[in-house]
Chains A and B, each alone.
Chain A
Amino acid sequence: MNDTHASPTQEVCSVVVGDTLYGIPIAHVLEILGKPATQPVPLAPYFVGGLVHYRGEVLTAVSLRRLLGMEPAKKPEDVLVFENGDGLFGLFVDSVGEVLHVSAADHEPNPATLEARRQALFDGAWKLKDRLLVSLEPERLDPMRLASAFSA
């Protein structure tokens, strides 16, 4: 419906981690799980936040906080469900906000001063009226991809 090529605006799901607002194209989000029960996995790669139960499946969920090297969350987190080649995976975020309409014209690439790890994860940012909305692509958060990118 809101293809970036056809239309200058697209819908993004806004999520908060720490003090930053992130946006994920809504078309990629299969479902949002509000504060689900989670199960940590000992010995898992650092970016794995734990397991989440989703429709009879047990999903591996990536923790954005851990990916960004932040303190673990004090409160229960929300989980977004995405699809990848391997099946489904989840993403832990502090909380999920409203759906925002953003315009491609407001999009800027990552600043050169951004630290390397974040460079690899972020896909630029949209300039909202009063703050920035960091663009996240679910593809880059795929646990398989992260495993080969970071454990090496």
Chain B
Amino acid sequence: MDDLTREFLLESQEGLDRMERCLTDLENRPGDTELLADIFRSVHTIKGTTGFLGFSRLEALSHAGENLLGLLRDGKLEANPDIVSGLLSLMDILRGVLRSIETTGAEGESQQQDAAIIARLEELQIGEAEVAVAEPALSASVDASTQPAKFHKPRATRRRGHGQSAPPPAQTGEAGPPMEAEEPAAGPQTEPRSVAAAQKPSSLPGRSTIESSPPETQAPSTSGTADSTLRVDVELLNRMMNLVGELVLTRNQILQATNADAGFAILGRRLDMVTADLRESVMKARMQPVSHVFSRFPRLVRDLALGLDKKVRLEMEGQETELDKSLLEAIRDPLTHSIRNSIDHGIEMPEVRIAQGKLVEGVIRLRACHEGSHVIVEVHDDGAGMSIEKIRQKAVEKQLVTPQRAEQMNEREILQLIFLPGFSTAATVTSVSGRGVGMDVVRTNVEKIGGKVEVDSRAGKGTVLRLRIPLTLAIIPALIVRSRGQNFAVPQGSLTELVHLSTGENDTRIERLENAALYRLRGRLLPLVFLDRLLQQSPREPGAPCDIAILNADGRRFGLVVDGLADPEEIVVKPLAAVLREIGLYAGATILGNGEMALILNPGAIAQNAGVSLTAEIDDVVDENRVGQQDFLLVETGNRRAALPLETVVRIERIPRSRIELAGSRPVLRFEGALLPLDDAASDFMDAAGDDPTAQTTVVVCRDGQRHVGMTVSQVLDVTGGRQLEEAGSGLVADGITLLHEKVTGIVSLAAIPPLENVVERATIESAEEAR
């Protein structure tokens, strides 16, 4: 393909994109001359260039569109949904032809289709009076035949240009000269829903059923930007990104080497700044506003709503939010899926909405915003919401969970079930959705790019689906772990927490069930994967200290046992050669700040390789809606178990027992320049320390109102939720005790530690001060 044609394709593609946006806007503002002029320009440009390049089919099609648009622009005709539908259909065909040119170099043949659409556009020019009669037949014939495909997958629609859509011309042909058709001729041959859809516009002449976006986001200031922007090959940007990464490393090395010479050091710092700026600029060059993806949705919503006979308004917010281009591409499908779900399952039929006292028009809100190093994209609908009971039943029915398990699950856990493969609650499979490949695909796609999906739903109120997407793929935060002297990077996205096991501890804390190693994390057994064994590295000596990185990947939770942890770092992901990709456990490689290389581990693949089961996650969904539950730090003091309310815990310190001092009769600890009163048991620890200066104890620093107090404990056991206990008969909530791990446990009363001022004489404090 020559450059001219390629340029033409890009330009036309953009023109059609702009046209699509404008057309859906046009339905709300039929008289907006600026919009019309914009659309007219897009079509006119295509027509002009096609004539020059010799694409006659495109020329004929765009000519027909231009004629109709000319009348609209000159105010001789008022835009109505039928005209918009007609123009949108024309656009789909144009897209098809463009695609055909792109792949085969030729326009492709579909004369019948062309004739049909040109005829339709000509009829639309005749004006509203006549159109009102002719239109039902026409739009029924065109829409009916295209809708099944269109609603199934919007992409399929645009491919119609390849001549696979014989039906519409055939039907139009049967109907004879359609203008003379007295009755909706195509009606009997079409599906009932399509007829309804087609007739709808004529029953509400001139009124739009869909608004694409709120007014503040509409004003498309597309003109003017063209001069200040430049098309750049993404490959080139990738290459630049690599070079910048290289520059960063060279800079680091120079900075280390320049420590000796002062003048050189200044230059080095300057290089440092320039490099940082350059890196940021190159990253920015890859960013695109989410409106690139959002702009397709007004059309999608319009078509879906018409097809389902529902009234839906799409509101969009935060379209200027920018995201890396590759990520933008990656969220297109999940978002389309979610919107389709919202319209099909979420938004109710108009009569249902009225009966429930809702506005007839359902609202889908699409919102994008920044949150830290993530972009949040929300799909919110005010539809029926999801029924927890239905999901529960469905999950049991489909044997995704056992009935017993389903009974125990709370609302939040139940909602997570919709992300399991093979789950669909749609009562009937519609052409739009409900085939059971839905939410799990959304989740998989989003997790593939390091993102997360959350769902929240209230029956009767609506559903929110929240996609959390990292800002860029090229650079990800990761934790560097070490295994047998080698570095490995674990993406932070799947890391939930870290556990350190000191020498000897790993013998006792790691439990075994046959061959499976398990770690008891807050009372729940977590499967362990030993990185050195997984990678067949030389085995670590037993009893050596190790760290467990608790990972959650694709719904699988497990602990990865490594030798040690290094710093978290922002890493640039480098692809691996095919021979190494085949190993399957690595997501890539990276070069660390110190110049060393590290392999990036793929937690999902590791979990799968080790056979960690999927359902493990459901057991462990963090439960925020517990009623009557409070989290406690479970500690052991002496031989007694006690509970400390977790919200009072400030920090946990290991201190030598010799640091516990007596102020008067009270044990105290000098802590961050202040005096921390300790509980009575601290004196026992002092005594127990005896002559051993290395003996240590654990102090839990707690907040008690305004003051801080310390609890000396022999061991911190766990963090766990406690249940209130009621006295038999009276039903009164028992004070000072709670049920932890099914054992009645006393709650430590922090107030029982007497304030220092009452107990300690001034002199004692002074002597304590002197001792410092």
A interface vs B, CB < 8 Å? Answer: 37-45, 48, 51, 53, 55-60, 86-87, 89, 143-144, 146-147
Contact = CB atoms under 8 A, between A and B. Distances in A.
B579 A37 contact: no
Contacts of B598: 39
A79 B653 CA distance: 50
A56 B486 contact: no
Nearest to B487: A39
B377 interface: no
B579 A144 contact: yes
B447 to A, nearest CB: 24
A59 B588 CA distance: 11
A86 B578 contact: yes
A143 B577 contact: yes
A40 B486 contact: yes
Given A43-B535, A43-B583, A89 B599 contact: no
A104 to B, nearest CB: 33
Contacts of A58: 574-576, 588-591, 597
Contacts of A87: 577
A110 to B, nearest CB: 26
Contacts of A89: 577
Interface in B588-637: 588-591, 595-599
Interface string B731-750: 00000000000000000000
A44 B579 CA distance: 8
Contacts of B585: 43
12 contacts: A37-B595, A39-B487, A39-B596, A42-B537, A43-B583, A51-B597, A53-B597, A56-B242, A56-B245, A56-B249, A57-B242, A58-B574
Contacts of B580: 41, 44, 48, 60
Contacts of A48: 579-580
B246 interface: yes
B222 interface: no
A37 B597 contact: yes
A4 to B, nearest CB: 29
Contact of A43 (B243, B536, B575): B536
Contacts of B579: 44-45, 48, 60, 143-144, 146-147
Nearest 10 interchain pairs by C-beta: A56-B246, A42-B535, A60-B577, A39-B597, A56-B242, A58-B589, A58-B574, A143-B579, A147-B579, A56-B245
Given A43-B535, A53-B591, A58-B576, A37 B242 contact: no
Contacts of A56: 242-243, 245-246, 249, 574, 591
A41 B591 contact: no
Given A57-B242, A58-B589, A42 B536 contact: yes
B108 to A, nearest CB: 33
Indicate the member of B486, B575, B577, B595 with the most A CB atoms within 10 Å.
B577
A44 B581 CA distance: 9
A22 to B, nearest CB: 22
Interface string B483-509: 000110000000000000000000000
Contacts of B596: 37, 39
Nearest to B584: A43
Tell me which of A39, A56, A60, A143 has the highest count of chain B C-beta atoms within 10 A of its own C-beta.
A56
B707 to A, nearest CB: 52
B2 to A, nearest CB: 27
Which of A37, A48, A58, A143 has the largest count of B CB atoms less than 10 A from its CB?
A: A58
A146 B599 CA distance: 22
Contacts of B586: 41
A43 to B, nearest CB: 5
B577 to A, nearest CB: 4
Given A39-B598, A42-B537, A45-B579, 20 more contacts: A37-B596, A37-B597, A39-B596, A41-B580, A42-B536, A43-B583, A44-B579, A53-B249, A56-B245, A56-B246, A56-B249, A56-B574, A56-B591, A57-B242, A57-B574, A58-B575, A58-B591, A60-B580, A86-B578, A144-B577
Contacts of A147: 578-579, 582
A39 B246 CA distance: 17
A8 B302 CA distance: 73
A147 B577 CA distance: 12
Contacts of A42: 486, 535-537
Given A58-B590, A58-B597, A39 B577 contact: no
A146 B59 CA distance: 53
Contacts of A44: 579-580, 583
Contacts of B249: 53, 56
A44 B535 CA distance: 10
**Interface centre among B246, B575, B589, B597, by most A CB within 10 Å?**
B597
B577 A86 contact: yes
Nearest to A45: B579
Contacts of B243: 55-56
A26 to B, nearest CB: 24
Nearest to A84: B577
Nearest to B574: A58
Contacts of A55: 242-243, 246
A57 B589 CA distance: 9
Nearest to A62: B579
Nearest to B583: A43
Nearest to B245: A56
Nearest to B483: A42
Nearest to B485: A40
B589 A39 contact: yes
A103 B242 CA distance: 40
Contacts of A51: 589, 597, 599
A58 to B, nearest CB: 4
B271 to A, nearest CB: 17
B744 to A, nearest CB: 49
A135 to B, nearest CB: 24
Contacts of B242: 55-57
B256 to A, nearest CB: 14
A36 to B, nearest CB: 10
Contacts of B599: 39, 41, 51
Nearest to B488: A42
B213 to A, nearest CB: 42
B589 to A, nearest CB: 4
Residue of A37, A42, A146 with most partner-chain B CB within 10 A: A42
B461 to A, nearest CB: 50
A42 B537 CA distance: 7
Nearest to B589: A58
A83 to B, nearest CB: 12
Interface in B242-267: 242-243, 245-246, 249
Nearest to A41: B580
Nearest to A42: B535
A51 to B, nearest CB: 5
B15 to A, nearest CB: 37
A81 to B, nearest CB: 13
Contacts of A37: 595-597
Contacts of B578: 86, 143-144, 147
A144 to B, nearest CB: 6
Contacts of A59: 577
A32 B577 CA distance: 19
Nearest to B537: A42
B570 to A, nearest CB: 16
A58 B486 CA distance: 16
Contacts of B597: 37-39, 51, 53, 58
A146 B582 CA distance: 14
Interface string B547-582: 000000000000000000000000000111111101
Contacts of B582: 147
Nearest to B532: A42
A44 B580 CA distance: 6
Nearest to B588: A58
A86 B597 CA distance: 21
